Amino acid sequence: MSLTLYVCTTCRAATDDPDGPRAGARLLDALTAALAERDTPVAVEAVECLSVCKRPCTVAVASPGRWTYVYGDLDPASAADTILDGISRYAATPDGLVPWRERPDAFRKGVVARIPPAPVRSA
């Protein structure tokens, strides 16, 4: 299984110190630290911009054969474990469609968009 979590490192929170790391970069650090403590089958990739600038922090999760999801409004100080919980549930589905009742609240409220899996092309 190949599963990628894209994390926007440009996302800036209104309360960010102009001289400090941005909220998106702090979320990336928190996710990297949280991943070291658990066994979520995901590759984390920093991205410069996911074009969801009005709803920081933002991540996207994608996997071949599964729906891609984009989430915003994520708190860099507290969202890392929630995101990894949600991704574990996503990884356990064949198509990326997690039943509504099993989705973390932050994913229910923070969903920005979803995109169908790419059509399977014959070799």
Distances (CA, A) of 42 to 23, 85, 107: 21, 11, 17
* The one segment of 11-19, 22-30, 97-105, 112-120 that binds its own copies by CB under 8 A: 112-120
Cα(43)–Cα(95) distance, integer angstroms: 18
| Interaction of residue 77 with its own copies, rule CB under 8 A | no
Would you say how long the chain is, in residues?
A: 123
Least distance (Å) between residue 84 CB and its own copies: 19
- Would you count residue 65 as binding its own copies (CB under 8 A)? no
β-pair type (43-47, 4-8): parallel
Residue 49 as a binder of its own copies (CB under 8 A): the answer is: yes
Give the count of alpha carbons within 13 A of 61, CB side only. Answer: 24
Q: Does 51 bind its own copies (CB under 8 A)?
A: yes
Where do contacts with its own copies occur on this chain (CB under 8 A)?
A: 2, 4, 6, 43, 45, 47, 49-52, 58, 60, 62, 64, 68-70, 111-116, 118-119, 121
